Structure 1
Amino acid sequence: MTVVEKYKTELDLVRQNPKFLHNYRFDKDAINSKHFDRLRLNIAIYNDLKQTDYEIVKYLFVEEKEWRKYRKAGDVDNLYFCAFVLTLFNSPEIVWLFFEAKNIDFDSGIGFDGEYLVSAGIKETYQYLETADNPKRIELLKYIGETQESCIYSQEDIDNWKEYKKSYFRNYKLPIQDELHFLYSTNERELFLTKLPEWINQERAWTYEELSLYRTYAKYADDKVSEIEALKLTLEKNDEDFLIDIYNRQLAELYVETDENNRALEILAKVINGTDNRNIVRDCIEQLCRIIIRTNNSSDDIAKKSYHIIAFQHKKYRNFSPMVDGLIKDVIKIMEEGKITAQNSLPKAGQRWWQKLFGSK
């Protein structure tokens, strides 16, 4: 049984007994928000649409809307996909739920397409609104236009938008075009992990999009080795990318996490020396601080070299951010304690190098 067939089996259970919909309810206090369970049911409906599924999809959308309000972990595209499936029923009265979704917060106002509001058709939506009794009616008309003639969208706009949405969500339609991305999107983690090595080892030229997917997949798999390889390949294939400093910083961060501090230091020093961007320097300093904190040894050569760079940049910029400035204070404490411990074996100049770098007396 394929995963989509499994989703259809679950859908049939809901169709036979709507009480099962409670298994897909969002609970803001629960550990599992059922976010991907709702997506899977929507995928099943998308591939086996029946007019009688309208109430099911509407229920799922209401729950997704609640999920969005509380910003639980997940992918906002699941909300958009549910809304798209709901448009397939061409029901003008759904405009109120869509309008609520668009007004959840500032991000929703931007991200939730205004086209959803008239997705049942320009003429049909305005005919419905003529007799609709809803306190949001005036506010809605102020947004989309007072009359059909003054609507901010044309029917051609809506038709083109629907075609775009079909294309955007094409990977949810059978036959599945990209199995690995489908498994990733639906959070089918176990199956995804079995397919990932084969995808990585395919012969390819590695386009920008494929490299982006490689980094995303490696992170999703929580595989540090693959994350490192993905970033190294990205730097190798896209050495002119405007994000190169960010990729290098991310690579260095992974090296810090895997205790390959020498490699991390080499990358961070090179990035800092090659930029005047304060934010990039700040992010690199954060990782240098973490090298010292993880090492927790002031006599370590890598820690000393990291400390010299931190001190120089600290004097240059004075402060970075509350979090990074706090890390610098922790680092000073580590180096100071190391200096006190070793003061009897160090010459006077050696005892005070850390103080000179930070302007201490």
Structure 2
Amino acid sequence: MNLEKSYRDELDKLRCDRTLLTSYSIDSATDNNRNQIKRNRILIGLYNDCQPSDYDISKFLFSEEKELRKSDLDIDEYEVEVLYLAAFILTKFDKVEDIWNFIDSKTTDFDSSIGFDTEYLLSFGVDKVKRYLIDSDHPDKELALKLTGVNNQTPPYSQQEIDDWKQFKHEYFLVFEFPIKDEVDFLFQAKEYEHLKKLLPNWLANKDKWTENQTLTSIAIGRVLRIDEFHLDSLKHYVETFKNSVRIEMYKKDIAELKEKLHTTMHKSNGGDSENSKASNINKNKSWWKKLWS
């Protein structure tokens, strides 16, 4: 599978036919993820190749993510980072009127007031936002002035700080940059789990080459995908390799709990026969990946 090509092709297809946008909406979803993973694919494409003519696509994707965050829907595999990526892509078009959409998102609830960076509201330029708000007759004008602080005697953000934030945000999403540097991390962050599972056996076989960050990613993969054997192998590798880490004691406890869980599961599956349980445990630990496609 050529991941980069598939992401580029999907974006190009949407560029050629805007009527396809509705197939990325919350309401058109056929599963309980509400099309968030589909929208994220387009956002990743835009992260790598954002053109001036893509504004309507970007605005639609952000609006859907904003509404999804505000909804009371039960959503499988929800990821708030997709909202933040959508907002970041929208800042690239430098349309100051989008500040009202950002304010709507930031005021969704208490968590959003903290999690949705105030810098999004100022991403169009501190002076530009100040002039725009002063001249505005929007009903949320006073709220906008309060949130941004642009009319304060000492504004909370300088233009340099906003520029630095933009660079930070770009680097924050670098896992999605083409060419893909780490396919496993990319697939995990993009929640392309079916593709990811196919890589795990070879990935684990090369664990001696893992960096600390790759080992932490592997631990997270095992936990999130609920692959207990892979999770256990990754935890063991971390404890054996990164002996000076502050995480060691915590991971030793996780290892003990996982071992107990696996022992209990194997014991029950073999009707309490300890010898069969041991044999089954050995066999399953050698071939846990076969269960991923069963």
Structure 2 counterpart of 1:179, one-letter code? E
Pairwise CA distance, 1:153: 0.8
Q: Which residue of 2 aligns with 1:66?
A: 67
SS of 2:58's partner is helix
Superimposed CA distance per residue, residues 46-99 of structure 1 (whole angstroms, 9 cap, x where no aligned partner): 222111111111111111112222473322211111111111111111111111
- Inter-partner Cα distance in structure 2 for 1:128 and 1:29: 41
Q: Aligned partners of 2:38 and 2:265: how far apart in 1?
A: 41
Shift of 1:162: 0.7
Preserved contact between residue 123 and residue 148 of structure 1 (Cα < 8 Å): no
Letter in 2 for 1:164: F
Aligned length: 269
Matched letter for residue 67 of structure 1 = L
The C-alpha deviation readout for 1:268-303, integer Å capped at 9, x for no partner, is xxxxxxxxxxxxxxxxxxxxxxx9x99xx9xx9xxx
How far residue 29 of structure 1 moved from its aligned partner, in angstroms, is: 9.9
Contact 1:193-1:221 at 8 Å conserved across structures: no
1:240 positional shift: 5.3
**What's the offset of the Cα at 1:194?**
2.4
Taking a change above 3 Å as real, the CA distance of residues 171 and 30 of structure 1, as seen in their structure-2 partners, is closer
State whether residues 42 and 57 of structure 1, in contact with CA within 8 Å, keep that contact through their aligned partners in structure 2. Answer: yes
5+ long unaligned stretches in structure 1:
263-290, 301-361
Task: From the CA coordinates, give the structure whose radius of gyration is larger.
Answer: 1
| Partners of 2:141 and 2:40 in 1: CA distance | 30
What is aligned with 1:321?
A: none
Deviation at 1:19, TM superposition (A): 2.0
Tell me the equivalent position of 1:79.
83
CA distance, structure 2, for counterparts of residue 87 and residue 248 of structure 1: 44
The DSSP-based 3-state class of the residue aligned with 1:258 is helix
Unmatched tracts of structure 2, length 5 or more: 275-294
Contact 1:4 1:43 in 2 (8 A): no
Alignment of 1:222-233 (within 5 A): 222-233=226-237
Q: Is the 8 A contact 2:129 2:150 kept in 1?
A: no
Is 1:121–1:155's contact at 8 Å kept on the other side of the alignment?
Answer: yes
Partner of 2:263, secondary structure, is coil
Aligned position for 2:116: 112
The residue aligned with 1:35 is 36
User: Shift of residue 39 of structure 1?
Assistant: 0.7
Report the equivalent of 1:21.
21
User: Does 1 or 2 have the higher relative contact order (CA < 8 Å, sep 6+)?
Assistant: 2
Corresponding residue of 2:254 = 250
State the alpha-carbon separation in 1 of the partners of residues 13 and 137 from structure 2. 35
For 1:45, the equivalent position in structure 2 comes to: 46
- Between the aligned residues of both structures, percent identity stands at 34
Note if 1:98 corresponds to 2:102: yes
Q: Within 2, Cα distance between the matches of 1:190 and 1:21?
A: 24
Please, which moves more after superposition, 17-26 or 142-151?
A: 142-151
